[in-house]
Amino acid sequence: MLQEQVTQWMVHLKHGDEVAAGHLWNEYFKKLFKLAERKMKDLPKREADMEDVVLSAINSFCMGMRKHRFDDLHNRDDLWKLLVTITARKVSAQRRRHYAQKRGGGQVQESIFSQSDSEKMNSGIGAVIGSEPTPELAAEVADNVRVLLGQLDDKITHDIALMKLEGYTIDEITKKFDCCRTTVDRNLKLIRKIWGEKLKEWDEE
Span 52-57, mean pLDDT?
88
Q: Which residue has the higher pLDDT, 113 or 97?
A: 97
In the three-class reduction of DSSP (H, G, I as helix; E, B as strand; rest coil), residue 150 is classed as coil
pLDDT at residue 161, rounded to an integer? 86
Q: What pLDDT does residue 131 have? A: 42
Burial of 184 (0-12, 13-18, 19+ CB in 10 A): buried
Per-residue pLDDT, 99: 66
Which whole number is the average pLDDT over 134-141? 53
Q: Whole-angstrom Cα distance, residue 120 to residue 125?
A: 12
pLDDT at position 140 over 70: no
- Within the chain, residue ranges assigned H as helices are 2-13, 18-39, 47-66, 76-104, 125-129, 135-149, 155-165, 170-177, 181-203
Bigger pLDDT: 124 or 154? 154
Where is average pLDDT lowest: 16-30, 89-103, 190-204?
89-103
Count: domains in the chain? 1
Residue 171 has pLDDT above 80, yes or no: yes
**What is residue 202's predicted lDDT score, i.e. its pLDDT?**
67
Cα–Cα distance measured from residue 61 to residue 86, given in angstroms and rounded to the nearest whole number = 8
* Least confidently predicted of 76-80, 103-107, 148-152, 161-165: 103-107
Range of the domain at 63: 2-203
The pLDDT, as a whole number, for residue 175 is 92
Look at residue 178 in the predicted model and tell me its pLDDT: 92
